[in-house]
């Protein structure tokens, strides 16, 4: 493999770290066609150019944190109302 090609590809482990998900989750998304990947021998590699496409289908750490913060805020502001609605 030439050096330029090696720099344009990343491993499933590297992508998992970038996205903040497990390597198994990366494999599942590859198998489902959510993340475009190429199989080289026994391993999958992802083109760096495809990372934006891969991120679209994945809930990253940052997005999870944003969602958790929004849920906590809503629970604080509307908790009593939500509890009353749940009793109906």
Number of C-beta neighbours around residue 26 at 10 A? 26
User: What local confidence, expressed as pLDDT, does residue 86 receive?
Assistant: 79
User: What local confidence, expressed as pLDDT, does residue 2 receive?
Assistant: 45
CA distance 54 to 42: 21
pLDDT tens for 26-59 read 999 999 988 899 999 999 999 999 888 777 767 6
For residue 44, the cross-strand partners are 39
The mean predicted confidence, pLDDT, of the chain is 84
């Amino acid at each position: 493999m030439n050096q330029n090609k090696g720099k344009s590809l990343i491993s499933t482990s590297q992508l998992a770290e970038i996205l903040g998900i497990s390597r198994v989750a990366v494999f599942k998304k590859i198998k489902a066609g959510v993340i475009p990947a190429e199989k080289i021998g026994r391993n999958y590699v992802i083109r760096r150019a495809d990372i934006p496409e891969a991120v679209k289908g994945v809930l990253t750490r940052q997005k999870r944190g944003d969602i958790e913060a929004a849920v906590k805020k809503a629970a604080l502001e509307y908790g009593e109302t939500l509890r009353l609605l749940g009793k109906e």
